[in-house]
Amino acid sequence: MNAFETCALSVRRGSRDVIREVSIKLRVGEVVGVLGPNGAGKSSLLGAMAGELPARTGEVLIDGKSLADMDALAQARIRAVLPQHAALTFDLGLADVIRMGAYPFPEATPTQVDDWVRQSVLDADLTHLEAARYGELSGGEAQRVQFARVLVQARAAAAATGHAYILLDEPTSSLDPRHQLFVMHRVHQLARSENFGVLIVMHDINLAAQWCSRIVLLNDGMVASDALPASALTPETLEHVFGMPMRVFPHPLVPQRILVLAHGNGL
């Protein structure tokens, strides 16, 4: 059974258990949104799944294999990660940065890599910037370049294994509204068309509600809710997790989806 999962995972940072007994499952073809207030453990969960933070108890499994038993290269060949902040200032061509996604796949031919790069450039809406140098880009453009790099890695992994997992840490944080939608829409499409399982840590509840197939709500290091957006994001759960009243409406434009409005002054 192909899945990327955490089993009763606890992660300790300093003297604090930032993740406690978290069991979630990311399947191929799914886009799972991880939401929660600051300090809920979103980034720690992502860090543990990215192989950066060790599990204190429990474990992380990729396709049934413990992450702890896989070296960095084996992990990179099945799972791509987009961290929150990318280095901005070095002098490489855009394509050179995006091609790095294929570094873990030395067996890929240049033609294959060119192909993945071309598709990923489209997926990140970078066509008009292709000739630019990375150091000249704005923060949002650089974020999209990193997104494209991650897509190349996932495409290469899917070519090698048949599927791939992607972890995205706030991939839309620096993007303008159009590109926020653009990227989320592409992620949604690619998960199905390319056999990607995508886990996204984000803050925008509505973006997640519209484009994710499932929502994991984290609160104080534990899973408060793990279900379809409409079931996970109820006014009661939202108020409990975020500590403020929220109202949930059927999405006026997208059938089967919901729209969440904060209702209150945040106190």
Partner 1 sequence: MPDRDFSRNLAGSHHPAGHHMTRKAGLMILSCGLLFSGVLAISKGAFQIPVEHLLDWLTGNGGALDTVSTNVLISIRLPRVLLGLVTGASLGAAGAAMQALFRNPLAEPGLVGLSAGASLGAIAAIVLTPGGFYLIGSFAFAGSVITTHLAFVLGERSSGVSGLLLAGVAINAITFSLMGLIIISADDAQLRDLTFWNMGSLAGASWQVLAVLVPWVLLGVLVMMGRWRILNALLLGEREAHHLGYALQVIRWQIIALVALTVGPVVAVTGGIGFVGLVMPHLVRMWLGADHRWVLPASALAGALGLTFADVLARVVIAPAELPIGLVTSLVGGPFFVWMLLKGRAR
Contact, 197 vs 4, CB < 8 A? Answer: yes
> Shortest gap between Cβ of 133 and partner 1 (angstroms)?
5
Among 46, 76, 184, 232, binds partner 1 (CB under 8 A): 76
The three-class DSSP label of residue 192 is helix
Length of the chain: 267
Among 3, 7, 100, 160, binds partner 1 (CB under 8 A): 100
Among 16, 90, 185, 247, binds partner 1 (CB under 8 A): 90
97 contributes a contact to partner 1 by CB under 8 A: yes
User: Cβ contacts of residue 8 below 8 Å, gap of 6+?
Assistant: 21, 22, 23, 57, 58
Interface pattern 116-145 for partner 1 (x via CB under 8 A): -----------------x-xx---------
Interface pattern 141-170 for partner 1 (x via CB under 8 A): -----x------x-----------------
81 contributes a contact to partner 1 by CB under 8 A: yes
**Helices in the chain by DSSP H: which ranges?**
42-49, 72-76, 94-99, 110-123, 139-161, 177-193, 205-211, 229-232, 235-242
Q: Helices then strands (H, E): number in the chain?
A: 9, 12
Residues in contact with partner 1 by the rule CB under 8 A: 50-52, 71-77, 80-81, 83, 86-93, 96-97, 100-101, 103-104, 133, 135-136, 146, 153
